[in-house]
Amino acid sequence: MQVIGDIKLANGVEMPRLFQGLPLIMGLKDIDLNQFKRIIENSYNANIKGLDTSHDYGKSERFIGKSIKMLVKEGLLERDDFFITSKIGNAQQYEGNIENYVDASLKTLGLEQLDLMLLHWPVPGHYIENWKKLEKIYRKGKVKAIGIANARVRHLEAMEGVAEIIPHVVQTEIHPFNVCEDLQAYCKHKHIALQACSSLCLMIALVKENPTLLRLGVKYNKSVAQIMLRWSIQCGIAPIFRAFKTHHIQEISDIFSFEITKEDMNTISTLNQNFRYHPESSNCAGF
């Protein structure tokens, strides 16, 4: 079986293949710091080194910073053991004070340098101007890499000839029911790494009851979630998942123990319906 290592970004920075998503919204509102710390520790122990957050995700940045600081103090890990992605929200883009928000994220996370900062959405009339500001921040060394989330090919094409730095990473909703074939092809051609948010589509009935995924789960002796995440990995994409129970985290980490055949990969891709759990129209006005 092919050994799959980190993804090397266009600027040489190495990014993990798998990310734990940590929003303190959508199901994590009542979690306390000690519980949050255990999630990060369990992820680390399962060799999951990518953490995904945002300035807009409630207390997430603050809890990540505090949890890592405590774990480092306890001698259980080092700061550089994790690759942390955060994002500039839409409201922050409208204001345009991009460097202020990067500085705020660094302070909240307790970091001197962030691994990856994304514009959360391609906000019409703002994202290209804000991208230029993000380029300057990158040149100052405050972030190791920069990118944009939820962009389609047309947004990236609009940046061509204007942006001095091609995004190192694009993050968007990708899973077997939203394959984004054109975006995958574009990013491969431009040497842009892909992160897949909502990579399990929140395990709605469309996903967990799908006959094809269930059949393949039996064939490989894996769960539907493992099949979906392994599909992403073999597509060259870094999936972002959310799992907070220890046994779920361990299950996710096992996706590197098997390989899906080319024929089955193609079968999974045919499930595409261009379905998004998080529609652009309700998240980014004028998208």
pLDDT at 98: 97
Q: Please list the active-site residues.
A: 57
pLDDT at 46: 96
pLDDT digits (tens, 9 = 90+) for 256-279: 999 999 999 999 999 999 999 988
**Confidence band, pLDDT 50/70/90 cuts, at residue 25:** low
What type of residue is 264? D
Percent of the chain beyond pLDDT 70? 97
Q: What is the DSSP string of the chain?
A: -----PEEPTTS-EE-S-EEE--SSSS-TT--HHHHHHHHHHHHHTT--EEE--TTSTTHHHHHHHHHHHHHHTTS--GGG-EEEEEE-HHHHHHT-HHHHHHHHHHHHT-SSEEEEEESS--TTTHHHHHHHHHHHHHTTSEEEEEEES--HHHHHHHTTT-SS--SEEEEE-BTTB--HHHHHHHHHHT-EEEEETTTGGG-HHHHT-HHHHHHHHHHT--HHHHHHHHHHHTT-EEEE---SHHHHHHHHGGGG----HHHHHHHHTT-----SS-GGGTSTT-
The whole-chain average pLDDT of the chain stands at 94
CA distance 282 to 272: 21
pLDDT digits (tens, 9 = 90+) for 94-114: 999 999 999 999 999 999 999
**Confidence band, pLDDT 50/70/90 cuts, at residue 57:** confident
Q: Averaged over 56-61, what is the pLDDT?
A: 85
CA distance 42 to 246: 6
pLDDT at 159: 97
pLDDT at 281: 81
Six token digits for residue 193: 């790494």
pLDDT at 26: 54
Asked if 44 and 253 touch (Cβ cutoff 8 Å), the reply is no
pLDDT digits (tens, 9 = 90+) for 84-95: 999 999 999 999
pLDDT at 83 over 60: yes
Q: Averaged over 232-250, what is the pLDDT?
A: 95
More confident residue, 239 or 4: 239
CA distance 250 to 72: 22
pLDDT at 2: 59
The helix-helix angle for 262-269 and 224-234 (nearest 10°) equals: 100
pLDDT at 211: 98
Mean pLDDT is lowest, of 24-38, 70-84, 133-147, for 24-38
pLDDT digits (tens, 9 = 90+) for 186-211: 999 999 999 999 999 999 999 999 99
Q: Which residues contact 229 (CB under 8 A, 6 or more apart)?
A: 18, 199, 200, 239, 241, 252, 255
Burial environment of residue 279 by CB neighbours within 10 A (0 to 12, 13 to 18, 19 or more): exposed
Global pTM value: 0.95
